Structure 1
Amino acid sequence: MNPGATLVGPVLEYPCASAYDRELCAQVRPPDWHNPQPRSCYDWLVIGGGPAGLTAARGAAALGASVALVECHLLGGVSLNYGSVSSQALIRTSRLYAEMRDASYYGTYPPTSIEVDFALAMERMRRIRARLARLSSATSIAALGIDLFFGTARFVRDDAIDLDGMRLSFKKALIATGSRSLLPTLPGLTEAGYLTNETVFDLTTLPASLLVIGGGPVGCELAQAFCRFGSRTVIVHDEPLFLPTEERDAAQLLSAALARDGIEMHLNTTAVAVRGDSGRKIVETVSDGDVGTVTADTVLTGIGRVPAVGGLDLEAAGVAFDTTTGIRVDDFLRTTSKRIFAAGDVCMEHPFVDTAHASARIAVHNALCRGRQRLSRLTIPWCTYTDPEIAHVGLYVRQARAQGIPIKTFTVPMHDVDRAIADGGEEGFVKIHVREGTDTILGATIVARHAGEMINDLSLAMVAGIGLDTMARVIHAYPTQAEAVRKAAEACRRRHRPQWRTWLQRWRGAR
C-alpha cells in the first residue's frame, strides 16, 4: 500500500449476496481496497471503470502514460454486472428449456417432466459473472501500473477533479461514466415496486407473471427468456412493432416468434399508471383511446437508458452536455474542453460494449498520440439476442433513400440454407444492401439463430472495402448458416456479370 493511502468505505453488495456475488464484489470492488496516494499530475485520468474506461486506461498505460482510473461503484460497468453477460447466461438456459419442450421436432422424445429450476439458472449466471470479473479485477488493473481510485468524482477545474475530498490533477482526461436505466414516469410505479434491467438479475425466485414495459432489445430479450422459464409474460409497447428502428420484416418475424412462445403482446399500447393490490401490480393501459388493465406479479421496465452525466459538475470544466443525449463531442471525441475527451455510452448514439471499446481506443490515440481518428468512420454492427436473433450493420433502406443513394438488395431466406434446415432454424433471412450498379456493401440485416455471429463477416467486408462480388469467391465450411451470405453474394455476382452470358451466347452461335 502506498504511504498515505486511504481505505475506501463500504460498498453496496448485491441483494442476493450469494457466494458468487461476494466473489464478484471481491474482484470489482474489494471491500478492503485502499486508494493510492495520488501523483502530482497524471498524463491521463479516466472517470468510469466500464468497458470504455477500462480500455482507455489500459491503452494509455501500454503507451507508458501515468494513468488514474476512478470508479464510483463496480469495475466492469453495466455490461459485466447487470447487462449483456448476465442476460446472455439466462437466455442460453431459457433456450435449452424451449428446446427440451420441442424435442420431438428434433427427432427425440421430450423429457416426461420438465421442471424449471430458476434458482439454479440464476446461480449459473452469477458463477459466469464472477468468473469473467477476473478480467476486470482491481488487482489486475493495479498490476498494469494504473492508480485505481474508488469514489465519487466531480470536476473543480478543466485540469482537476475532487474525489471525496482528494484532489487529482491531470493533463488530459476521459469521461466514460456510461449510462443508467431510463424509468418511465408512471404514477404509482415507485409505490407498487418494479424491476429494471439491472435489478432483474437479483431475483432468485421466478415470478409467476411478468409485465414488461417497452419492446426494445432489452425488453424483448428478457420477456422471451422469462416466458421460456415459465412466467406468464406480457409486453406493453407504445409502437406498432417491436424494435422500431429495425427493418419492418425483421420486427414482424420477431413478433411471430414471441407469440409462438406464448407472450401476450399489447402493441400501440401505453402504460399510464400502476397500483399495487395484495402484492400484485395492476397496470392501467391506453390503446386507441380504450382504457384497459393488465395484472402481474412483477413489472419490468425495459424502455432504454440515458447517459450518466449527473453529479460530475461538468460546468466547472467547461464541458457541454445534455441530460438526454449526453456529453457533446466532435468527430474526434473531444468535448468542448480542450483537455477532456469522452467515450462510450455517455456520449454515443449506440450504447454497445463494442462501440465503447472502439471509441475508447480512438480517444486514447487522439488525446495522447496527437491522432486524427474519426468516430464517423466506425462500422458498427449490433444484435438483439432474441430467438431468432436480429443483427444489423450499416445503412437501412430508408436511410439510403433519405440520402438519395440508389440501392439494390439481395435477400436469401434461411429456409433455403441447408444448415438452417438441419438445425430447425429456418426462420429468418439474410438481406444485404449494395449501391446500385456496384457491389459496394452499404448495409445488411440478418434474422437467424446465429445472426450475431454471421453479421461479423459483413462488418469485416465493409471495413476492408471488400465488395459483395468478392465474397462470392470465399469458400465457406459446409454446412453452416453463413452459406446464406454466400448465396446473396452469388446473386450479386450473377447480376454484375452480364458479359459472361453475352460471351457464352456468341460462343454457342459460332458452333
Structure 2
Amino acid sequence: MTNFLQADLCVIGAGSGGLSVAAGAAQLGLKTLLLEKDRMGGDCLNYGCVPSKALLAAAHAAWHVQAGTDFGIAPATPTVDCSAVDFSKVHRHVHKVIAAIAPNDSVQRFSALGVKVIREAGRFIDDRTVATPSCRIRARRYVIATGSRPAIPPLPGLDTVDYLTNETIFDLEERPDHLIIIGGGPIGLEMAQAFRRLGSRVTVLALAFMEQDDPELAAVVLERLRREGIRLEGGIDITAIHKRNDRYDVCFSGNGQAQTITGSHLLVATGRKPNLDGLNLMAAEIKHSPSGITVGPDLRTSNKRVYALGDVTGGPQFTHKAGYDAGILIRRLAFGMFWTRTDYSALPRVTYTDPELAQVGLSEPAAREKYGDDFSRQIRILRWPYSENDRAQAERRTEGLIKVITSPKGHILGAGIAGAGAGELIQVWALAMSKKLKISALASMISPYPTLGEISKRAAGSFYTPSLFSTKTRKLVRLLSKLG
C-alpha cells in the first residue's frame, strides 16, 4: 500500500542547499521530509568541490617539491616528470577526504536532527502533491534543490565514444598519459593544472578560455598554465572525435588550420545544466526552461507553495550561492520574514588554479558595458601588483595583481584578484560590498605586516594618491607648515 505523509516542508534534493534548508527547518521545529534518489551530499561532496580541491591539493604538493629549487632546496629525487607520484595513493587521498566529510551529510546525521530522509526520487502529480515509489506526500511548502549535472555538447563523434566528466574523473586509479580536456572554464582549467602537476600531458580545447572573467586577470592564470606545459588551443571548432586502440583522436580546426590531437583520456567540461528530469514540473504548474526553474528574488516559483534554490534555478552555479539561498529560505519559511530577498551583487566566485582568480561585483569589461561612453567619468580602476608586496616576494609568489572598480566617490563596485590566495583575499571585498562600505574603510584598515592581505589595503589607499600628492595639496601643506 502507498503511504500518505504530511509535512510542513518537503525538500527534494540532498545537495548542499537542500541539506542546509532541511537541517535548519527541522531544528527549528518544522516537520521536514528530505527526498534524495542518489548520493547524500550531492555534486559538491561526491563529484565537485570536495574531490576537486583534494586532487588540487595533491597536485600542489607535487609542484612544491619541484619548486624548492627557487629557494635553494633541491628535491631528494628527480621529479621533472612527476615520476615520484603514486597516482593510486592520490586516488585514495581524494576518497579519504570525501569519506571524512560524508558523515556531515549522512542519513544518520539528518535523521538525528529530526529530518525524515526518503532515499527515493520524487515527482509532482499535482500542484501540491509529490509522489515517490513508496509514498505520496502532501506538504505545506516544497523546496526543489536538485542541482545540476554536466552539460554534454553535440560534438561530432562524441556520442560514439566513452568519456570522462567531473562525475567520473575522480574514480581514475591510474594517471592518464595524455589527458584531452574539452572546455576552457574553471572545471577544465583546474583539472588541467592538477593532472599536469601530477605528471600527465594535458591539452585543453575550447572556443574561449575563462570568458566570464576579466581578461587582464585571466591572462595571469593562462600564462602560468602555458609555462607549466599545458597546451591551450582556443578559438577552435571540433570537427570529429574517434577512439581507436584505446586512444582518442580529436580533430579540430582553428586559424585556418586543421589539426588532430591524440590522447589516452578525454574529459568533457563544457558547463552544466539543471536537473529537471523526472520532476514533472508541468503537473505542479511550475514555470521552467532548459536554463532552469524560474524563480523571483524570493526564490518562489510560479506555484506559490514551491520554492527552488541553487543550480536548478540557473545563474551562478556555486555551492556558496546555494548555501546563501538556503539561508534566505529559512528566514522566510521558519521565521516568517517574507520580505527577505536574494541579492547576488556581492556574490564572490573563484577559480582554484595556481595562481587563483577571484572576483566579486563588476569587472572592468562589465563596468565598461554598463556605463558606456560615460565610463571614464563614472569609474575609477585601482591596481596593485603582487610584486610590490613583501610577503609575496619572500615566498616567491609575485605573479598577479588586484584590481578594484570604484565610483569617483569611493563606492566599491567590484574587485578582482589573480594571484596566490586570491580566494581568501577576495572575502574582505565581498564583505565590504555586502555592507556598502566605501573604499576609505579598507584604506584605513590596519593590516598585519607582512601579509598578502596588504595588497587590498595598498590598492584601496591608491584611490587617494592623485589628490593626496596633487599640487593643491602640496600648497596646503606648505601653508600649514608656516602656520605651525
> Residue 398 of structure 1: CA displacement?
2.4
Which whole-Å CA distance do the structure 1 matches of 2:420 and 2:364 have between them? Answer: 23
Which whole-Å CA distance do the structure 2 matches of 1:364 and 1:209 have between them? Answer: 47
SS at match of 2:383: strand
Give the one of 350, 354, 357 matched to 1:383: 350
Moved more, 158-167 or 311-320: 158-167
Give the one of 478, 481, 484 matched to 1:508: 481
> Residue 489 of structure 1: CA displacement?
1.5
Contact preservation (8 Å) 1:43, 1:170: yes
Aligned twin of 2:384: 412
Moved more, 277-286 or 462-471: 462-471
> Residue 490 of structure 1: CA displacement?
1.4
Aligned twin of 1:291: 258
> Residue 378 of structure 1: CA displacement?
5.1
SS at match of 2:343: helix
Summarize the alignment of residues 359-378 of structure 1 with structure 2, pairs less than 5 Å apart: 359-368=325-334, 369-376=336-343
* Alignment of 1:160 onto 2:132: no
> Residue 403 of structure 1: CA displacement?
2.6
> Residue 465 of structure 1: CA displacement?
2.0
> Residue 156 of structure 1: CA displacement?
0.7
SS at match of 2:61: helix
* Paired letter, 1:233: V
Contact preservation (8 Å) 2:467, 2:473: no
Which whole-Å CA distance do the structure 2 matches of 1:330 and 1:125 have between them? Answer: 38
SS at match of 1:102: helix
> Residue 467 of structure 1: CA displacement?
1.5
Aligned twin of 1:237: 206
Aligned twin of 1:252: 219
* Alignment of 1:268 onto 2:226: no
Summarize the alignment of residues 51-450 of structure 1 with structure 2, pairs less than 5 Å apart: 51-114=16-79, 115-239=84-208, 242-323=209-290, 325-368=291-334, 369-376=336-343, 379-404=346-371, 406-436=378-408, 438-450=409-421
Give the one of 458, 468, 485 matched to 2:439: 468
Contact preservation (8 Å) 1:213, 1:271: no
Which whole-Å CA distance do the structure 2 matches of 1:118 and 1:261 have between them? Answer: 19
Contact preservation (8 Å) 1:468, 1:493: no
* Paired letter, 1:82: Y
Which whole-Å CA distance do the structure 2 matches of 1:102 and 1:396 have between them? Answer: 32
SS at match of 2:359: strand
> Residue 484 of structure 1: CA displacement?
0.4
SS at match of 1:425: coil
Label 1:44 to 1:111 Cα distance change in 2 as closer, same or farther (>3 A). same
SS at match of 1:80: helix
Contact preservation (8 Å) 2:203, 2:232: yes
* Paired letter, 1:152: A
Contact preservation (8 Å) 2:156, 2:238: no
> Residue 289 of structure 1: CA displacement?
4.0
Label 1:496 to 1:375 Cα distance change in 2 as closer, same or farther (>3 A). farther
Which whole-Å CA distance do the structure 1 matches of 2:388 and 2:61 have between them? Answer: 25
> Residue 379 of structure 1: CA displacement?
1.7
Contact preservation (8 Å) 1:68, 1:148: yes
Which whole-Å CA distance do the structure 2 matches of 1:494 and 1:426 have between them? Answer: 23
Which whole-Å CA distance do the structure 2 matches of 1:501 and 1:343 have between them? Answer: 55
> Residue 366 of structure 1: CA displacement?
2.4
* Aligned residue-pair number: 472
Which whole-Å CA distance do the structure 1 matches of 2:224 and 2:8 have between them? Answer: 52
> Residue 360 of structure 1: CA displacement?
1.5
Which whole-Å CA distance do the structure 2 matches of 1:290 and 1:377 have between them? Answer: 42
TM-score by length of 1: 0.89
Aligned twin of 1:28: none
Contact preservation (8 Å) 2:295, 2:308: yes
* Paired letter, 1:105: D
Aligned twin of 1:12: none
> Residue 197 of structure 1: CA displacement?
1.1
Label 1:377 to 1:81 Cα distance change in 2 as closer, same or farther (>3 A). closer
TM-score by length of 2: 0.94
> Residue 500 of structure 1: CA displacement?
5.6
Which whole-Å CA distance do the structure 2 matches of 1:109 and 1:370 have between them? Answer: 60
Give the one of 14, 20, 31 matched to 1:49: 14
* Paired letter, 2:93: R
* Paired letter, 1:391: A
CA deviation map 1:326-377 (0-9, x unaligned): 0000111110101100000000411001000001121232234142222235
Which whole-Å CA distance do the structure 1 matches of 2:283 and 2:320 have between them? Answer: 31
> Residue 423 of structure 1: CA displacement?
1.1
> Residue 462 of structure 1: CA displacement?
1.1
CA deviation map 1:285-326 (0-9, x unaligned): 111342211100000011110111111000000001111x10
* Paired letter, 1:341: Y
Aligned twin of 2:450: 479
Label 1:109 to 1:139 Cα distance change in 2 as closer, same or farther (>3 A). same
Contact preservation (8 Å) 2:218, 2:418: no
* Paired letter, 1:314: L
CA RMSD of aligned residues (A): 1.7
Contact preservation (8 Å) 2:47, 2:170: yes
Aligned sequence identity (%) = 34
Which whole-Å CA distance do the structure 1 matches of 2:136 and 2:466 have between them? Answer: 65
> Residue 269 of structure 1: CA displacement?
1.2
Contact preservation (8 Å) 1:397, 1:407: no
> Residue 496 of structure 1: CA displacement?
5.7
Aligned twin of 1:456: 427
